[in-house]
Amino acid sequence: MAAAAGVKSSAKDARELYEMKERAIRFYTDNGVPKKMEEILNSMFHDNPADVYGHLANYFAEFAKVPVITKVKGRQGYDSKGQSTVQTEVYCMVKNHEKLISSCVAPSVTSMLLDTAKPEEKDTEDAERQASVTAAINYINTDICNKLEGLDPTQQTEADDVVYNFIQQMKDEMEAQKAAEAAAAAAENAEEAPTQDTNESNNSKKAKSPTGNEVEGDQKGAKGKASQIIIIPDEAREELLDGSCLVSALSQAVCTAGAAIKDVQLYHYIAALKHKEMPSTLQLPLPMVTIIQGGKGAAGKMNCIKEYMVIPKPGVPLRESMKNILGIYNHVSKALCVKGGGNARNVNDLGALCPVFDKPEQGLDLIQEAMTALSLTPGEDVSIALNIAAHEMFDFDKGKYEVVTGQLKTTEDYVEFLVELLGRYPAINAVIDPLRKQDREQWIRLCDRISVAGYIVGDYGYHRPGLLKHEELDEDYQTSGILLRWEQMNTLSDIIAVANKMEEAENEIFVTAGPGETSQDILADLAVGLNARFLKLGAPCRGERISKLNRLLQIEAELEEQGTLGFHDAHLYPRIELTPPPVATETEAEDSSPSPAKKGTKKK
């Protein structure tokens, strides 16, 4: 009996072994393993590689499955100011192993008016920022993680759409809920409201003056031209859902993951996404570096210039330009120290020097003196750019620009003031936000006075890329450049779409860093990949600013070694030139309607 049982067991084992071998043969045949093994073994003998197993690993890696996202993680991080922000991580399944592929700390979002905000407003903003970060982390670790699972990280547009659409859907649902609650409350109040007094109908005929005082309808305009001025307010700040900051944070993390999977430099990866193929050459952006910070929130009376910046000459290697930039910064710093002591060398979050100025000329003179001391020709070797940020110094109560504390100018007078200032300093070749977008007539007149040789750059007047890419450009708001940020609801896909759109409109691309930056250098790669003309960084001071400049230097060296470094055309680096004010004829004087704007601020 025992012998018979042993024979049956042996037969069963043999049958199972045979069946297993059959399954193994089918498995290897279906996956083409024998054929591939034969090919690599035959070729490897002739190749005679120094690392046999490394050679085998590289060969079979070509046939590995495309890595996919297995999970994303969010946690709280901090920017250079110690403010809360979002740190994101992307994990992928790579050759049967789950690996951390990318980790990004997004810059925190800071109000553009934070420097002029009251302490209680800053406290409110800090609380709002923390609430948004907390919500973002929660979304990333739950809904977003599930939605991105299994996605190829090299499919940037698809990943951006998944995240963007999720936040937009959450926002729409919340707005619908608020609208329903408001309608219900309005219906309840309508039932309880008493009959209105007939006298209210008479009060409703009263109009309000630009200063907010009530004026009888038949008296409107009785005080002459000044009473007829209508001040168009700035657009209301877009209400973003708490957690919206995850959109840009994940867009950056997925982008860096895609570049890692492709095993290419990030700037190459972004350039391929923008141009649909790899360009033969890549150009470095010209760094737009802040030397002095002023403006409404700074000490002193001067309000009309927020940033004094310098731009090196195109066609010069960045390693040479950096010497000039640092030389100017250090010379200005020493000059301030001599005049005001050691505290005069203190810097702000941008790394910019913050002296007390009462006139805009003081900063311009300091910078030009530094250039002269370094044997540099202002406007030739190094040029000056100004961030005016006109919306910050506009007094809505009086309808005027407060260029200096206590000195207010009408829009017409302010334009003449600005033109006169630019005329005295020909080294200036770019101005950012010189006027409010709402001052359409005067914007057109400013464009008429400044010829095609200069850059008028739009920032505050443009919507974020996700909205701008769907909008028709306003013909009355003509610019020759646009500032693009990779923050909040801005995805890489949207930024690329807007960059292409603005280039078609003959606008240069300015990539800009914000106040709440981190030490990550992704913006340098973004600027190179987008073929941006300028990269606005802040000052050559503080680690989060210098990290981007160091990355640009590294990219420059890599492109030089590859023989693919190009330079932007020097003739596209102009200086602002002024035209005399037009002399109005009697017919033109009678016609109060604004004339069409010239294409004066667009490059040719």
Express each pLDDT in 158-183 by its tens digit: 999 999 999 999 998 888 888 888 88
| Higher-confidence position of 523 and 12 | 523
Contact between 429 and 311 under an 8 Å Cβ cutoff? The reply is yes
> In the predicted model, what is the mean pLDDT of residues 132-144?
96
Based on the fold, state whether residues 284 and 405 are members of the same structural domain: yes
- Single residue among 103, 134, 169 that ends a domain in this structure: 169
Q: SS3 for 18?
A: helix
Report strand pairing: 481-484 vs 508-512: parallel
Same domain, 130 and 273: no
Which has the closest alpha carbon to 580: 450, 429, 417? 450
Strand ranges in 248-296 using DSSP code E only, listed in sequence order: 282-283, 286-293
- The band of 154, judged by pLDDT with boundaries at 50, 70 and 90, is very high
The percent of residues in the chain predicted with pLDDT above 70, rounded, is 85
- What is the rounded distance in angstroms from the CA atom of residue 48 to the CA atom of residue 55? 9
pLDDT value at residue 352: 94
Distance between CA atoms of residues 524 and 285, nearest Å = 9
- Helix, strand or coil, per DSSP, at residue 576: coil
Distance CA 371, CA 425 (A): 13
From 110-119, 220-229, 546-555, 565-574, the region with the lowest mean pLDDT: 220-229
* Same domain membership, residue 268 and residue 165: no
pLDDT, residue 126, reads 87
Identify whether residues 329 and 464 lie together within a single domain.
Answer: yes
Give per-residue pLDDT as tens, 405-462.
999 999 999 999 999 999 999 999 999 999 999 998 999 888 888 765 579 999 999 9
Position 221 confidence tier, pLDDT thresholds 50, 70, 90: very low
Q: What pLDDT shows up at residue 119? A: 72
User: Could you give the number of structural domains in the chain?
Assistant: 2
> 575 pLDDT band (50/70/90 cuts)?
low
Q: Does 19 or 143 have the greater pLDDT score?
A: 143
Band (pLDDT 50/70/90 cuts) for residue 602 is very low
**CATH code, domain with 153:** 3.30.390.10
Which of 40-49, 549-558, 582-591 is most confident? 549-558
195: pLDDT strictly greater than 80: no
User: What does the pLDDT read at residue 402?
Assistant: 93
Q: Report pLDDT digits (tens) over 545-567.
A: 999 999 999 999 999 999 999 88
> Is 601 inside a domain boundary?
no
CATH number at residue 278: 3.20.20.120
Whether 470 is in a domain gets the answer yes
Distance between start and end Cα atoms, the chain: 101
- Residue 89: inside a domain, yes or no? yes
Q: Pick from 108, 136, 169: which residue ends a domain?
A: 169
Q: Are residues 385 and 524 in the same domain?
A: yes
Residue 8 has pLDDT above 70, yes or no: no
- Final residue of a domain: which of 169, 196, 229? 169
Range of the domain at 435: 264-590
Mean pLDDT estimate for the chain: 85
Q: Which pLDDT score, from 0 to 100, does residue 99 have?
A: 96
pLDDT the model gives residue 309 = 97
- Same domain for 162 and 276: no
Note the pLDDT tens digit of each residue in 22-37: 887 888 888 888 888 8
Q: Are 164 and 276 part of one and the same domain?
A: no
Between residues 601 and 278, the one the model is more confident about = 278
Once rounded to an integer, what is the mean pLDDT over residues 309-321? 94
Sorting pLDDT into bands at 50, 70 and 90, what band is 600?
very low
For residue 435, being part of any structural domain is answered with: yes
Query: Is the pLDDT higher at 594 or at 573?
Result: 573
Out of 206-220, 551-565, 583-597, which region has the weakest mean confidence (pLDDT)? 206-220
Q: What are phi and psi of 596, to 5 degrees?
A: -60, 145
DSSP 232: P
**Does residue 139 sit in the same domain as residue 285?**
no
Question: Based on the domain organization, do 280 and 149 belong to the same domain?
Answer: no
pLDDT at residue number 207: 40
Beta-carbon neighbour count of residue 439 at 10 Å?
A: 21
The answer to whether the beta carbons of residues 538 and 547 sit under 8 Å apart is no
Give 295's contacts (C-beta < 8 A, 6+ positions apart). Answer: 115, 116, 303, 305, 306, 307, 389, 392, 393
232/331: higher pLDDT: 331
The answer to whether residue 364 sits within a structural domain is yes
Q: Is residue 8 one of the residues assigned to a domain? A: no
Q: Which of 429-438, 458-467, 493-502, 566-575 has the lowest mean pLDDT?
A: 566-575
pLDDT at 211: 36
Q: pLDDT grade, residue 212 (50/70/90)?
A: very low
Whether 117 is covered by a domain: the verdict is yes
User: For every residue of 109-158, which 3-state class applies, written as one string?
Assistant: CCCCCHHHCCHHHHHHHHHHHHHHHHHHHHHHHHHHHHHHCCCCCCCHHH
Q: Reply yes or no on whether the pLDDT at 113 is more than 90.
A: no
Task: Provide the pLDDT for residue 381.
Answer: 94
pLDDT band per the 50, 70, 90 thresholds, residue 225: very low
Asked if residue 11 belongs to a domain, the reply is no
Let me know: does 174 contact 241? Beta carbons within 8 Å: yes
Contact residues for 20 (Cβ-Cβ < 8 A; gap 6+) = none
